[in-house]
Amino acid sequence: MVSQRIRRLDRGGWSLLELLVVVAVIGIMAAIAIPFFASYWRSAAVRAGAQEMRTALQQAKQLAITSRSNVTVQVVGTGYQVICQTANCSNPNGSVGQFWTGAQWSPNAFVFRLQNTVGVAVIAGPPAFTPLGAAAPGGQFQVTGPAGNFLTINVSAAGRITTP
């Protein structure tokens, strides 16, 4: 003699109404979360591009110190070039205007591009790093994402590279 209540608890599964409520709650949560995620993705792409540009500027500064020459970072289109401004660079013919390819100096123009369709523009400068690590003159770069949001990178005359 099993009571009626225990028999009802033994039934498995969910009703259609319960399933619809769960699906509706998940849909509402997704509708709220998707715009926040899209905004986060856009800002993260710009932050990553700014970090990539800061790293390139730090590398140019280190190249100037190790090669004992002036090294300039110039913007070309939506990318940038690292150029040796003196004949001291460790290149085959020792001429001025050698381009850094990421591994060595080359007489051929080489343009680096930022990832995620992030562009870079020069606001002030471009900075030329000296063999002592200073920048003469200082400069500013603006890294802009595909949605139009941007971050500014500052290069001080002392050679310090910051993003506010």
Domain map of the chain by residue range?
Answer: 36-72+114-162
Please report the pLDDT score of residue 114 as a whole number: 85
Please report the pLDDT score of residue 93 as a whole number: 55
Structure confidence by residue, pLDDT tens digits, 120-144: 989 988 899 999 999 988 899 999 9
Burial of 88 (0-12, 13-18, 19+ CB in 10 A): middle
Distance between CA 70 and CA 57 in Å, rounded? 13
- Please check the confidence at residue 156 and state whether its pLDDT lies above 90: yes
pTM score: 0.77
Contact 161, 58 (CB under 8 A): yes
Top pLDDT among 29 and 98 is at 29
- Please check the confidence at residue 91 and state whether its pLDDT lies above 80: no
Q: How confident is the model at residue 26 (pLDDT cuts 50, 70, 90)?
A: very high
CATH 3.30.1490.100 given to domain 36-72+114-162:
no
Nearest to 64 by CA among 111, 133, 127, 110: 133
